[in-house]
Structure 1
Amino acid sequence: MTLECINPNDLPIPEMYTQVVIATGSKLVFVSGQQPEDIHGKLVGRGDFTAQARLAFGNLGRALAAAGARPKEVCKITIYVVDYNRDEHVPIIEQAQMALFGDHKPANVVVGVAVMSPGYLIEVDAIAVIDHTTDS
């Protein structure tokens, strides 16, 4: 599997994501939105965006692993945030994202939403491309 990450010269170079990702591999992995829930489906961190972001990205990592995908094979994520405020939320999202992806920067979008399930503040989904036959 290979990911070619491109930041075109005529677009700004983002810090936490890549403008264009070209993925080549043999399997597509689509991970449903991961929420800040424990193994029993119970919300963790009610009212605490930082705790919820960490757990949502942690759950994303566990879902990827279950599919045999590595974080570096993720080509796109979507982050849904209740009552999104760039100044408040972006630094927390960046920390949680870096904890999972390190210096890998998949294409991403942050979507502000009015409401999810009561108490839920963030959800993250992903698309990965894997080809472990070549183990690149």
Structure 2
Amino acid sequence: MTLECINPNDLPIPEMYTQVVVATGSKLVFVSGQQPEDIHGKLVGHGDFAVQARLAFGNLGRALAAAGARPEQVCKITIYIVDYKRDEHVPIIEEAQIELFGDHKPANVVVGIAVMSPGYLIEVDAIAVIDHTAVG
């Protein structure tokens, strides 16, 4: 699997993501939105965005692993945030994202939404590309 990360010269270079990711491989992995829930489907961190962000990204990592994908094979993520406030939420998202992805910067989009299930503040989904031989 190969990901070519491109930041075109005529676009700003973002800190936490890549403007364009070109993926080549033999298998696509689509991960549904991961929420800040424990193994029993119970919300964790009611009202605490940082706790919820860490768990949502952690659950994303577990979902990827179940498909035989690694975080560095993710080409795109979408982050949904209730009542998005850039100055408040971005540093917390960055910390949770670095915890899962390290230096890898998949393309991403942050979507501010009005409501989710009561108490839920964040959800993250992903698309990864892996080689067929990488699936175990």
Whichever residue aligns with residue 29 of structure 1, its letter is: V
Whichever residue aligns with residue 57 of structure 1, its letter is: F
Residues 1:46 and 2:46 are matched in the alignment:
yes
What is the aligned partner in structure 2 of residue 66 from structure 1? 66
Residues 1:77 and 2:84 are matched in the alignment:
no
Whichever residue aligns with residue 129 of structure 1, its letter is: V
- SS where residue 133 of structure 1 aligns? helix
Change (3 A) 1:134 1:46: closer
**1:25-70 CA deviation, whole Å, 9 max, x = no partner?**
0000000000000000000000000000000000000000000000
Any unmatched runs of 5+ in structure 2? none
Deviation >4 Å, runs of 4+: none
Whichever residue aligns with residue 111 of structure 2, its letter is: V
Q: Is the 8 A contact 2:68 2:134 kept in 1?
A: no
Any unmatched runs of 5+ in structure 1? none
* Normalised TM-score (structure 2): 0.97
What is the aligned partner in structure 2 of residue 25 from structure 1? 25
Residues of 1 paired with 2:3 and 2:47: CA distance?
Answer: 36
How far did residue 21 of structure 1 move?
A: 0.1
How far did residue 117 of structure 1 move?
A: 0.1
How far did residue 134 of structure 1 move?
A: 7.1
**1:50-92 CA deviation, whole Å, 9 max, x = no partner?**
0000000000000000000000000000000000000000000
How far did residue 132 of structure 1 move?
A: 5.0
Change (3 A) 1:124 1:134: closer
How far did residue 133 of structure 1 move?
A: 2.6
Residues of 2 paired with 1:116 and 1:69: CA distance?
Answer: 28
Percent identical residues = 90
Whichever residue aligns with residue 14 of structure 2, its letter is: P
Change (3 A) 1:13 1:26: same
Residues of 1 paired with 2:123 and 2:90: CA distance?
Answer: 14
- SS where residue 110 of structure 2 aligns? strand
